[in-house]
Copies of this chain bind each other. A is one copy, B any other.
């Protein structure tokens, strides 16, 4: 599984768990809604800056966010 796919899945799970719409998350992270959509679908890969902004908006450390991404990759291997 590609990293971008895993990132998208983790991002969506986190967003939903916080009860946010793509629009709301985009507002918090200062990113466009359409771009959040692309990220969740694994169509685009975030830069370090974007990962940082999303982590803050989702109220967790970048390391925790990437840990969840790693878990998605693990799951897909089984």
Give the docked Cα–Cα distance between A67 and B67 (Å).
Answer: 10
Q: Please determine whether B69 and A4 come into contact, CB atoms closer than 8 angstroms.
A: no
* In the complex, per-residue mask of A38-78: 1 if CB is within 8 Å of any chain B CB, else 0: 00000001111101100000000111101101100000000
In the complex, which range does the number of interface residues on chain A fall in? 10 to 19
Give the docked Cα–Cα distance between A45 and B67 (Å).
Answer: 20
| Number of identical monomers bound together in the oligomeric complex | 2
Give the docked Cα–Cα distance between A61 and B47 (Å).
Answer: 17
Give the docked Cα–Cα distance between A71 and B43 (Å).
Answer: 31
* Closest B residue by C-beta to A7: B48
A22 to chain B, nearest CB (A): 19
Q: Is the C-beta of A3 less than 8 angstroms from some C-beta in chain B?
A: yes
Which residues of B sit under 8 angstroms from A49, Cβ to Cβ? 3-4, 45
